[in-house]
Amino acid sequence: MPFGSGLGSSAASAAGGVFAVSEFLRTGLTKYDLLRFAVEGEQIADGAFHADNVGPSLLGGMILIRDNETLDIKKLHIPSGLYVAIIYPHVEVLTRDSRNILNPEVKFNDVIKQQGNLGAFIAGMYTSDYGLISRSLQDLLVEPQRAHLIPHFYEMKELAMSAGALGFSISGAGPSMFALCDNSIKAESVIEAAIKLYKTKRLDINTYLSKINQEGAIRF
């Protein structure tokens, strides 16, 4: 789905870097003013001009991107009580490689369904309709093509949904995975399931649990 999560190391570095420099030089630029510089910084790392990672890293929250070239973006409303569980398996998935495996052609019916999911997801966010959010968190276009890059992805997805997650998918190019949950207890259950699963698979992981960061880059 075309909204940003900000869960990339290059994105965090680009966003934090431009914000830190701006603060140090006292430029007076707003975060929106700095966004293009951050996007151009990540472009050096992964070869593409897109704001889906640096946008939320810099601005916070979830970002809807209407157009990348003009950076026409909108922060979405975040319902109270929304938590995210992140599972990062210790495998290397390069953004360039992950992008190159994507088929440039998609089925028209899948596009229609995905646009419906996106519209319903946004509606669910603004109305705090967790049921609608859950039904909408389905990636019909990219997840099926990238899932094989992440060890035991579908097994982990099944465990997350059984633990009560609203939805589960790949964060950007991977290998991080995310589970969106309507409370911290369910998010903790997803983390526990991930730790048990990957321990049996003898694969190291890092896990993170947090509310949605609404602030983005800030000055301490």
Query: Same domain for 125 and 206?
Result: yes
Query: Same domain for 54 and 84?
Result: no
pLDDT tens readout for residues 47-80: 778 888 889 999 999 999 999 999 999 999 999 8
With beta carbons less than 8 A apart as the criterion, state whether 205 and 197 touch: no
Phi, psi of 43 (to 5 degrees): -60, -35
Please, which residues have CB within 8 angstroms of residue 56's CB and are 6 or more apart in sequence?
Answer: 4, 5, 6, 62, 63, 213, 216
Query: Same domain for 186 and 90?
Result: yes
What is the pLDDT at residue 9?
Answer: 58
pLDDT tens readout for residues 9-44: 566 778 888 999 999 999 999 999 999 999 998 888
Q: Which domain holds residue 86?
A: 78-220
pLDDT, mean of residues 115-136: 97
Domain boundary residue among 77, 93, 114?
A: 77
What is the pLDDT at residue 8?
Answer: 53
219 burial (CB, 10 Å; 0-12 / 13-18 / 19+) is exposed
Query: Same domain for 170 and 206?
Result: yes
Domain boundary residue among 62, 77, 92?
A: 77
pLDDT tens readout for residues 190-214: 999 999 999 999 999 999 999 999 9
Phi, psi of 88 (to 5 degrees): -115, 100
Query: Same domain for 173 and 216?
Result: yes
Query: Same domain for 83 and 128?
Result: yes
Query: Same domain for 97 and 189?
Result: yes
Domain boundary residue among 54, 77, 100?
A: 77
Report d(CA 165, CA 100) in Å as an integer. Answer: 30
Between 31-46 and 9-25, two packed helices, what is the crossing angle to 10 degrees? 140
Query: Same domain for 110 and 130?
Result: yes
- Go through the chain and tell me how many residues it has: 220
Which CATH number do you get for residue 195?
3.30.70.890
215 is catalytic: no
Query: Same domain for 131 and 24?
Result: no
Which CATH number do you get for residue 18?
3.30.230.10
Report d(CA 35, CA 55) in Å as an integer. Answer: 7
Query: Same domain for 93 and 153?
Result: yes
- Catalytic residue, from 27, 42, 92, 207: name it: 42
216: left (phi over 0), alpha (psi -120 to 50) or beta: left
Query: Same domain for 94 and 194?
Result: yes
Q: Rounded to the nearest 10 degrees, how much is the dihedral formed by the CA atoms of 52, 55, 58, 60?
A: -90
- Catalytic residue, from 95, 155, 188, 207: name it: 95
pLDDT tens readout for residues 81-118: 999 999 999 999 887 788 889 999 999 999 999 999 99
Report d(CA 125, CA 134) in Å as an integer. Answer: 10
| Rounded alpha-carbon distances, angstroms, from residue 58 to 45, 80, 186 | 17, 21, 27
Which DSSP category does 168 fall into? E
Query: Same domain for 86 and 177?
Result: yes
| Tokens standing for residue 165 | 């997650």
What is the pLDDT at residue 3?
Answer: 40
pLDDT tens readout for residues 137-186: 999 999 999 999 999 999 999 999 999 999 999 998 889 999 999 999 99
| Tokens standing for residue 23 | 């603060």
Q: Rounded to the nearest 10 degrees, how much is the dihedral formed by the CA atoms of 207, 211, 212, 217?
A: -80
> Domains in the chain: how many in total?
2
192 is catalytic: no
